[in-house]
């Protein structure tokens, strides 16, 4: 596993329980958390418990995104291998950092890692069909909308459909 990787403006490093206070700014955001299976976090303690629960052995790897000149977490990236060569990704970016291309930059660098350095053949993500920003991001990165799973997720806002997005290694551009 690659512990730390970077892009032009970001550093991605393993998430730590100590990131709870910074990440709580995202996890408490009602609109940002609307499309997550769990609702917004009510306290830093809840965010700390969430990070603690994910710090043990898991098929998922988690990183925080930080600005290159500041170690404060501004978002998260995650990758979970579902079977050899097939990886699911997830991402979250605090609202204060929207509109600057950080999500695109972080996810792009994660895709480089998965395809070029680790040899994944397929990466996929699932999104709520109404999550326009996430759907636009995946489409702009070359993902193909592969399907709709009806009534797939039971969430804090009810049972939701899921868009499945996929990208093959052969479709990821060489940079």
Distance CA(118)–CA(112), nearest Å, equals: 9
Residue numbers of the chain with a pLDDT score lower than 70? 1-2, 174-175
Distance CA(89)–CA(104), nearest Å, equals: 13
- Decide the pairing of beta strands 86-93 and 122-127: parallel
* CATH number for region 5-171: 3.40.630.30
pLDDT tens for 118-147 read 999 999 999 999 999 999 999 999 999 999
Q: Which DSSP symbol is given to 19?
A: G
Which residues pair with residue 127 across a beta bridge?
Answer: 163
pLDDT tens for 99-118 read 999 999 999 999 999 999 99
For the chain, domain boundaries:
5-171
């Amino acid at each position: 596993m690659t512990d730390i990787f970077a892009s032009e403006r970001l550093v991605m490093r393993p998430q730590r329980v100590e990131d709870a206070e910074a990440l709580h700014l995202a996890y408490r955001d009602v609109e940002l958390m609307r499309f997550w299976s769990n609702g917004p976090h009510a306290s830093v303690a809840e965010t700390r418990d969430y990070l603690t629960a994910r710090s043990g052995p898991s098929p998922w790897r988690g990183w925080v995104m930080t600005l290159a000149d500041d170690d404060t977490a501004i978002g998260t990236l995650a990758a979970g291998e579902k079977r050899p060569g097939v990886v699911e990704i997830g991402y979250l970016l605090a609202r204060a950092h929207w509109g600057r291309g950080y999500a695109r930059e972080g996810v792009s660098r994660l895709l480089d890692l998965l395809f070029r350095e680790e040899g994944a053949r397929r990466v996929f993500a699932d999104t709520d069909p109404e999550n326009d920003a996430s759907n636009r991001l995946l489409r702009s990165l070359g993902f193909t909308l592969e399907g709709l799973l009806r009534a797939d997720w039971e969430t804090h806002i009810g049972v939701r459909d899921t868009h499945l997005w996929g990208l093959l290694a052969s479709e990821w551009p060489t940079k």
